[in-house]
Structure 1
């Protein structure tokens, strides 16, 4: 069963296709347009107004957003610099619809758009999985070499190949410029944070120009969430003649980033077992279960000890550990290394035709050790079994440890990801009277290789480490950590697989400029995604090399209408193909091709010659063909419903997010810079649609979130320079972290609001000093909803940055 908006998608698609065909038939005879020469390489946007009124990612062109039939959010370099943003995680506050993924283990950039998985790209080319889709990569994307961030909502397979259902996060990289410049930036901040960056740009002669950016960053981090990063970005541009341009870009990144998979855990106190919340529980509410079966039998004194340990919020919210971190010294930060090399060739064939081809090789590897489990059991009647070890309070030698963490696992990950991509694009403009067609033909080929190995060590609750287990944590408030290194303990290989993904595709897009201020976009594409998976552990359940293939057509159609010169409305319908678990296992029974769908209607308004742009949209975005257990399958020979003649799974489940977004950008750099955005969403998973089973909000995703940032340059000069004052407010709504399989069916993290501020002084001698104050009210909050807990956000902190240009 498909989402309810499926028929609307197809009706819109057919209507726009018919409109496109009719225009070709009825248009006047062919004549070439007297317009700007066609260009494919329009990623770098110049000018104050164009910085917020144009975006490349949606149509692979410089079309004004007012005429773009798609939802796009963007963040400029000036805005990110003002906020002191250094990573993609810092940038998401400025972009509606973009947020943290649910069920997050703290591995790399795990983001979603409208509750759905996304693709990360640099200039439209692969930027790594970073943990999305089940991957173990720990990529944390820096903004050092980023000119701007553009977010396209909805599937975009007609232009970008393999893609997530939510859309594309495109990081537009900096390039050589025709004017020589140097920029030195250095900063120091709380948590022993230090960093420096140097940007060197030189035109070597009339044809060659070179740019080199280097940076380093080191931070102890709040709660020892440390980071150590070194980056180099060389780029070389060659203008062979008026028609041919070559661009070579490279990147080398070495980083060490601590992974926090636990944060502050929720104490496992199950209200459905007791009938009362933790704050009201008495000894009578936590009886022992029957003896036998490994069940722990607590004495009356021990039961009272448990009751006395309870606090309001236990079982429903993370247990506040203050500044205590559950990042064990046995854990190790990522040892990540990334190399990218890109080459791009642009050929201007004529005033109305352009060709581009570009390729990238990317290699990323990391290894780290993370702590994946630290479960503090208080009380849980699990399927009629109370306190059945190891899902029970810890009692050793007659002593109860009410704050103990058991069932610990430390996991060593060795991850390697290599990708090779090639794109070829031909663009041609045809004008027929008042109608202009910008045709874009795209073809691509890509290959991705993933190699993942995991080893685990456990505490005594797992027999696989019985010979040398890690010690229990007897009190999460003051942990007794294991000594030595991961390799000193009994290791168990938990996964070892290789994965090859090859994808080919082609697409044709027609952007049609029509009379009466109409712009239509019609695109159709074909993708074939083949996956070969080999589990090297050779264990039951997935013992042999298996393969799957997703292939078929996808489309994207939309219409934008300027109802007034500065106001437009748009409608978009799109369908894409999203290979199921590109970075993870492949099912043995070859599930049906996966699909993603998006439908939206929106409005845009601009003022001040394009320096103010407001946009809003209503949307429904979904991913289909999700797997869930078939209730008719029963492999128990003794069961009266024994049936193995049917598929163990069904594939008609789906995830769907409906909601609304708005974005406001104002770019008056001599006076004001404003960014405001807000998102309302209802992300839900529908398993077994035949029975109407619908989950609550998807794990970790807020219903409401948004941010406002504003800064103003004072009119009065000080010592010949200018002073800028500003700041922002960020709000994230309540997020679910519930888990019925772990006895915390009502767990969540609270909504929070933080306030930041900026003071900057710009000297006329081309240097400035900037003070960023973050969380000025010292709000206590959780910035990330994790697997069974929340990651504490940073309290009040400050950074001072000095920048000189010469």
Structure 2
């Protein structure tokens, strides 16, 4: 579908829904009625311009914490999306990428066999890209979505002025459940196919003298949907808060133990997925990852007076894991001819219908310390009201990978009748045994939002970021000699404006910048090599009311100083990339009983210059669909059989995307897919306590679909990640 046609069609569609929402708002606000049992007690209390986030079903309005300043979403000249608590409860996503299916402009990147939260935003980003936040603080790269998650916020476009080193696509902020003064307790249990079972405890309440606590325990287990593997997770999350009229303090800790298959998916050979059942793996049953994450956060907010408050935060995140894999490096899909394989000093001949594998083991430990101090306030200069922030933040992100075992242990397996042996990796590549990446940052930033008139709002911000980065590798017993050793600084700025046609409807425009220093563990990086830089222009319109919000955005991002590696192993500036697109997000109530979450995305992201690989110029970046869409509806069926019933269903459209062999020699088109989900919920009371039953079905048609590449491509195969198979499960929760 041509881009121009998409633009016109989507704008008309969003406009018609906004008009309908306005009509509904007038009717329901006048009658002061709830839209559902989860809505606020009175819509008359809803304030689009509130300085806190309000949730009404799938609809969120007011102020999002991802913007750091107490500026309502409708007054910000950027796209901010919120996945509400209710939408998460209804959809029951299994991970962060699944949770973001109801947000435009995001897609999965390489998850390293399922370990990482790897998300592309507007075509940019990947694993370990610093874009995942927990409660506004930089998080580790792995398993950030789970039982403690309350909402997920997404800030689109370059965010370096507020968050430092970033790719230009945006950031994702996972908001955790906090202690509450009102006592609330729940016990949950779940059962499903693939031998799924789970249990959860969530308890919160006041302790007196301003103290409150929360404790969450969650344990989940199931068989992997493919022909072997098991997923096990256990979470412990205590937190404590204290507050008085001026000060709030929060101390939170979360620990996760996990064990899961290390699965790079299936293989693309000569443009075709290997012709075996999607459930059949060509690696080994001992391809397993075991790991743990720890997250500590300390937050302090102190009101200096009615206009100013001081915020301090410290976060520690650790992700430690080890995995074993029998990595598929070539597949001969022919029924009659042999295949010659050669890589470095390794040569093999593959018989027909055979896969060649190589053993690999790896351990890693990443520790991240970050701290932030800022002053937020409101003041007037004449008739101009200002919402202002000035702050500083610092971080130390230290990652070690090793020991690494990835040489020897070559084996083959028949792809039609595999015989698994669970071999172990023994040999070591000395030059690649230990890998290190250590980066320290210090940033100073300032931003002001000025209300020039009742309708015109202007926002501007500046940041200076200093970084010190060392990366490289060495063998056991050898001295570490870095391949990357840089320290430098960068000044960045952003500017935007909002014009409000009414308190509910605004149009906006912004310009923003991002940067990311170059680094390489394996190859030499010149200390003076310029960092990657992103520059973005975005225009859009927003509509917010008591029952619905809608955003339409058009963006253009240019990314320069994209680096490649030359034949000598040196990193150099080689290219430029550009992302252009359109996004639509609509969330809320269409009628009293019918709610929806709807998105559409068009993203055209491509190489516009590449000195290393001219064949890449003009090609869509790997793993980014041009078209994506999602629609999820829920309906209040009413009260019968002694309880309240709700029904919901939805579909996601994942458009086709490109995969490439090494050096962009060959491009393959990965097919599109539609995935269907549904749920049925029943709420009642037994013995005065609330009982909730919910039956969920995910990927109901058991569609085979592909989400991203899952490793480095070469001339023989391209590994691609498979989407999860059909799941059906029942959850029961008692609240007291």
Structure 2 length-normalised TM: 0.84
In 1, distance between residues paired with 2:290 and 2:554? Answer: 42
Q: Any conservation in 1 of the 2:158–2:167 contact (CA below 8 Å)?
A: yes
Superposition pairs of residues 199-598 of structure 1, within 5 angstroms: 199-223=202-226, 224-239=228-243, 241-261=244-264, 263-267=265-269, 269=270, 315-331=271-287, 333-377=288-332, 387=340, 389=342, 401-406=351-356, 408-458=357-407, 465=408, 469-473=409-413, 475-486=414-425, 489-493=426-430, 494-537=432-475, 543-544=481-482, 546-581=484-519, 587-588=525-526, 590-598=528-536
Unaligned 5+ residue runs, structure 1? 1-41, 131-138, 270-314, 380-385, 459-464, 636-646
Aligned match of 1:133 = none
In 1, distance between residues paired with 2:230 and 2:218? Answer: 17
Structure 1 residue 659 corresponds to structure 2 residue 566: no
Q: Any conservation in 1 of the 2:284–2:422 contact (CA below 8 Å)?
A: no
User: Relative to structure 1, is the Cα distance of residues 401 and 176 closer, same or farther in structure 2, using a 3 angstrom cutoff?
Assistant: same
Deviation string, structure 1 residues 585-606 (Cα, Å, up to 9, x no partner): 6614541122222211011123
Aligned match of 1:8 = none
User: Relative to structure 1, is the Cα distance of residues 63 and 742 closer, same or farther in structure 2, using a 3 angstrom cutoff?
Assistant: closer
Superposition pairs of residues 696-775 of structure 1, within 5 angstroms: 696-715=619-638, 717-740=639-662, 745-764=666-685, 765-775=689-699
Q: Secondary structure at the match of 2:652?
A: strand
Aligned match of 2:544 = 606
In 1, distance between residues paired with 2:519 and 2:733? Answer: 43
More relative contact order, 1 or 2 (CA 8 Å, 6+ apart): 1
Aligned match of 1:274 = none
Structure 1 residue 802 corresponds to structure 2 residue 732: yes
User: Relative to structure 1, is the Cα distance of residues 43 and 145 closer, same or farther in structure 2, using a 3 angstrom cutoff?
Assistant: farther
Aligned match of 2:603 = 681
In 1, distance between residues paired with 2:457 and 2:520? Answer: 35
User: Shift of residue 499 of structure 1?
Assistant: 2.5
Aligned match of 2:176 = 173
Unaligned 5+ residue runs, structure 2? 1-49, 712-717
Structure 1 residue 73 corresponds to structure 2 residue 29: no
Structure 1 residue 157 corresponds to structure 2 residue 160: yes
Aligned match of 1:626 = 562
Q: Any conservation in 1 of the 2:369–2:396 contact (CA below 8 Å)?
A: yes
The structure where strand makes up a greater share of residues is 2
User: Shift of residue 389 of structure 1?
Assistant: 4.5
- Count of aligned pairs: 667
Aligned match of 1:3 = none
In 2, distance between residues paired with 1:252 and 1:376? Answer: 40
Deviates more, 1:753-762 or 1:778-787: 778-787
In 1, distance between residues paired with 2:521 and 2:646? Answer: 45
Query: Which of these residues, 140, 143, 146, is aligned with residue 146 of structure 2?
Result: 143
Superposition pairs of residues 65-104 of structure 1, within 5 angstroms: 65-101=73-109
In 2, distance between residues paired with 1:566 and 1:186? Answer: 41
User: Shift of residue 649 of structure 1?
Assistant: 5.5
User: Shift of residue 366 of structure 1?
Assistant: 0.7
User: Relative to structure 1, is the Cα distance of residues 799 and 517 closer, same or farther in structure 2, using a 3 angstrom cutoff?
Assistant: same
User: Relative to structure 1, is the Cα distance of residues 544 and 763 closer, same or farther in structure 2, using a 3 angstrom cutoff?
Assistant: closer
Q: Any conservation in 2 of the 1:193–1:221 contact (CA below 8 Å)?
A: no
Q: Any conservation in 2 of the 1:48–1:668 contact (CA below 8 Å)?
A: no
In 1, distance between residues paired with 2:706 and 2:57? Answer: 36
Deviation string, structure 1 residues 355-391 (Cα, Å, up to 9, x no partner): 1111112222111112333311469xxxxxx946469
In 2, distance between residues paired with 1:582 and 1:187? Answer: 44
Q: Any conservation in 1 of the 2:557–2:578 contact (CA below 8 Å)?
A: yes
Deviation string, structure 1 residues 431-458 (Cα, Å, up to 9, x no partner): 1343111110010111111111143345
In 2, distance between residues paired with 1:120 and 1:148? Answer: 13
User: Shift of residue 61 of structure 1?
Assistant: 3.2
Aligned match of 1:278 = none
Structure 1 length-normalised TM: 0.77
In 2, distance between residues paired with 1:101 and 1:174? Answer: 27
In 2, distance between residues paired with 1:651 and 1:616? Answer: 35
User: Shift of residue 100 of structure 1?
Assistant: 0.7
In 1, distance between residues paired with 2:117 and 2:528? Answer: 29
User: Relative to structure 1, is the Cα distance of residues 693 and 478 closer, same or farther in structure 2, using a 3 angstrom cutoff?
Assistant: closer
Q: Any conservation in 1 of the 2:448–2:460 contact (CA below 8 Å)?
A: yes
In 2, distance between residues paired with 1:226 and 1:220? Answer: 4
Rg larger in structure: 1
In 2, distance between residues paired with 1:49 and 1:454? Answer: 48
User: Shift of residue 483 of structure 1?
Assistant: 4.3
